A and B are shown apart, each in its own frame.
Chain A
């Protein structure tokens, strides 16, 4: 890969020279004094927390910033030799294809082929050539045969592939993707990365991708640019950037779990010369570590304890690694008495005939923290909507406490089950934070004194007291989510459902919301989380319900669920890297199966890898884990 990188860096497709940019009506620069070159055929990853300037950087490359937005612009950007200030966006569109985060709003046409044709029509490409290009672009993204379909009949991942096809049809030299997988399920996300990598490798297309998907960028990107507050903090190959875990942490960015794990292991004295950032490198390193002491209860033959984990080229698991025993969740084991939610042989058939739920039975007891996972269309949302009485069972029964939800309307359940939607903006209706938090209680007929007391308590719990007089929509997204949670808390529900709470959040934002969920859980609330972000959930969830095609295929404690790799693979869910490392370590350790980087690092260290020779070395390792970087 390094020779390819060197070869490609000889010729630049885009050059940014001391670029600064301030949006209209803004005081802070969105980008500040950025200089870099993007080589032809390069795959450049953009990483950084929310507000780092990643989207502005993307829009800079086709002239939308500053031509469309206005504002103050300093420096110079050239793409394919064209100055982005001197050439209209329509001219730059010949060279730069752009794909956005939201697959819904970037679709303009009502058929797949017309969607791909739209930009070509604008650029006056003759019809005959259009037909050829559409066919080629759809072939490249695996959407041949869908030409006449309405884009809204496609899945989220297919819509993003369509957006890529529409950009590709322009035959651009540079493909810019702004968080293209942020709203996709793991299967859709994997498909996007695979296609982009293929375009980059096979066609030599230059790719710039902003993403929080650390594991994938480590795998696919040639270089990474770390942005924060509009500044370019660091640029280098993934080994340098992701290997510097401490710096990433300081900048609010998550490192791949494999890097985090070995960084922790190094801090515990394990001799790790270079922090691996890709799972295959991590697995190789595990195999090459000096022999360790057999763990308590382990056999001598497991001295290395490293099991064979096979990965395909795309980093996919090839199987054969699941634990021998599946430990199913024992219903009723979590608590005695009436379950908080009880589902009995639940079927749901939508009016269009889709059989979305097929005989689901489960109990959720008070005080549990339950994670519901599965691909889009697996039935997760349909199931949860039954808990909220938003849907009625076609067959079977859902009980909240001892009440059948058929006997209730949605509002009856409001004070028993709170629901935090994926998009907090859809749950905000009032002019001030205070009114918003009191909204539900007033609806439920509470007196003004009760409302005031509950509002005060909820605002304090969510740290929102200081903004109680502000308009909720004027707050940052993370705070808006907290407003919604405060509003739900004011009703005093015993159960709170979080629907994809980490979508659209950066690492710190996601951690903050999950931290709130943990606090609520510790206070005795029952928590149900729907998410695709499996890597974020250890340390929070206790129990995992895995769904596929309307059925529950596994209901188990999180350690067992995450280690059932075959089953997860069967529903296209990727286990966190740390699980692969833990399984590679194998052995019959009392704490096995391991689930977090801390646990695996401790296991590696406990295994007796040669400890760093001197105290000063150990201190250095503990203080900072870095592979070396090109600081700016």
Chain B
């Protein structure tokens, strides 16, 4: 990944142009909804909608691919474990006496012999996977469409102390620098004969652990330099400061705020009243 890719420009889209506050409201709402819904169908649809929203907001697919790829092994693990071992939870939620088996492990197999993978278990696993995917995609939707200065301003407007807002934004700003350092170090290791591509996962993990020393050292040096630099720029964390830009809510921002509120209320109401979104519910 090149430096240019590490510092992705804010896309020019309607969503990106929104104030940080409605974006945050929408992302919070979608997170809550994803958390509430246990239906794999609705959860999956929600994840799909969020993925499409990311693309619609102008985020390059390569930035979405990383969280998806990262989730893939965990997702498979969740599907297997839930498929086999989620019986108790599913029975409790659906009241079902028996689950529909898909596959039964022969009794002769030590320890797990007789365990059955169920349709309901897989569905429950898919529901968890959909939640994780939705939440993972909401992060780039918020972070990659908002410049950090606007983010700080937005957070201050919703009464998050300036110091905390600044620290959060600085952490995000440091992320590309950290990735750049990781890349430089792994590159240097490969140049010293380290054939990562030919290693097993355990050896590779041990090698990655060795990254910590130079990485932490680099972070310490950088953060100390940042601290000195902030001092020289009269940074005190005092919230009584002025801002170059104003954060004003336009009609579009208000519309998204209202839409978010409406979505949240509707989802909760449908869930409570009709069980829509409940595991084993109508949808």
Please list the residues of chain A having a beta carbon within 8 angstroms of any beta carbon in chain B: 59, 62, 64, 68, 88-90, 93-94, 96-98, 100, 102, 104-106, 108-111, 113-114, 117-127, 130-131, 134, 150, 152-153, 166, 170, 350-352, 388, 390, 409-415, 418-419, 421, 423, 425-431, 439-441, 443-444, 473, 487-488, 491
Q: Is the CB–CB distance between B190 and A411 below 8 Å? A: yes
For the complex with contacts A109-B149, A121-B243, A425-B214, 18 further pairs of A-B residues with Cβ separation under 8 Å are A105-B177, A105-B229, A106-B225, A108-B229, A111-B147, A119-B233, A119-B234, A121-B241, A127-B244, A130-B244, A350-B2, A409-B197, A410-B191, A413-B191, A414-B192, A426-B185, A426-B188, A443-B195
Q: Is the CB–CB distance between A100 and B149 below 8 Å? A: no
Main secondary structure of the interface of B (DSSP, over half): helix
Shortest Cβ distance from residue B192 to the other chain A in the assembled complex, whole angstroms:
4
State A97–B3 Cα separation when bound (angstroms): 29
Q: Is the CB–CB distance between B193 and A100 below 8 Å? A: no
- Given A104-B177, A150-B9, A443-B192, residue A125 in contact with residue B226 (CB < 8 A): no
Q: Is the CB–CB distance between A426 and B181 below 8 Å? A: yes
Q: Is the CB–CB distance between B194 and A411 below 8 Å? A: yes
- Given A64-B232, A414-B192, A415-B193, residue A425 in contact with residue B218 (CB < 8 A): yes
Residues in chain A near residue B244, CB distance under 8 A: 113-114, 117, 120-121, 127, 130-131, 134
State A533–B5 Cα separation when bound (angstroms): 30
State A111–B9 Cα separation when bound (angstroms): 10
Residues in chain B near residue A426, CB distance under 8 A: 181, 184-185, 188, 214, 218
Task: Mark out the residues of chain B between 192 and 242 whose CB falls within 8 Å of any chain A CB in the assembled complex.
Answer: 192-198, 210-211, 213-214, 217-218, 222, 225-236, 238, 240-242
Please list the residues of chain B having a beta carbon within 8 angstroms of any beta carbon in chain A: 2-5, 7, 9, 147-149, 170, 173, 176-177, 181, 184-185, 187-198, 210-211, 213-214, 217-218, 222, 225-236, 238, 240-246
Shortest Cβ distance from residue B147 to the other chain A in the assembled complex, whole angstroms:
5
Residues in chain A near residue B4, CB distance under 8 A: 153, 352
State A108–B169 Cα separation when bound (angstroms): 9
14 pairs, A vs B, C-beta closer than 8 Å = A59-B228, A89-B232, A108-B170, A109-B148, A166-B233, A351-B2, A390-B187, A414-B192, A425-B214, A425-B217, A426-B184, A426-B218, A431-B213, A440-B194
Shortest Cβ distance from residue B28 to the other chain A in the assembled complex, whole angstroms:
23
Pair count A-B, CB < 8 A: 172
Partner of A153, one of B2, B7, B188, B191: B7
Residues in chain B near residue A390, CB distance under 8 A: 187, 190-191
State A222–B145 Cα separation when bound (angstroms): 49
Q: Is the CB–CB distance between B149 and A64 below 8 Å? A: no
Closest chain B residue to A119 by CB distance?
B233
Closest chain B residue to A113 by CB distance?
B244
Which of B177, B189, B193 is the most central at the interface, judged by chain A CB atoms within 10 Å of its CB?
A: B193
Partner of A68, one of B7, B195, B226, B231: B231
Residues in chain B near residue A96, CB distance under 8 A: 232
State A410–B188 Cα separation when bound (angstroms): 10
- Given A121-B243, A425-B217, residue A388 in contact with residue B197 (CB < 8 A): no
Closest chain B residue to A62 by CB distance?
B232
- Given A130-B242, A350-B2, A439-B192, residue A122 in contact with residue B233 (CB < 8 A): yes
- The 5 tightest CB contacts between A and B, nearest first, are A414-B193, A119-B233, A93-B234, A411-B195, A440-B192
Partner of B242, one of A109, A121, A431: A121
Q: Is the CB–CB distance between B191 and A419 below 8 Å? A: yes
Q: Is the CB–CB distance between A411 and B241 below 8 Å? A: no
State A413–B230 Cα separation when bound (angstroms): 43
Shortest Cβ distance from residue B262 to the other chain A in the assembled complex, whole angstroms:
32
Residues in chain A near residue B185, CB distance under 8 A: 426-427, 429
Residues in chain A near residue B222, CB distance under 8 A: 105
Q: Is the CB–CB distance between A114 and B233 below 8 Å? A: no
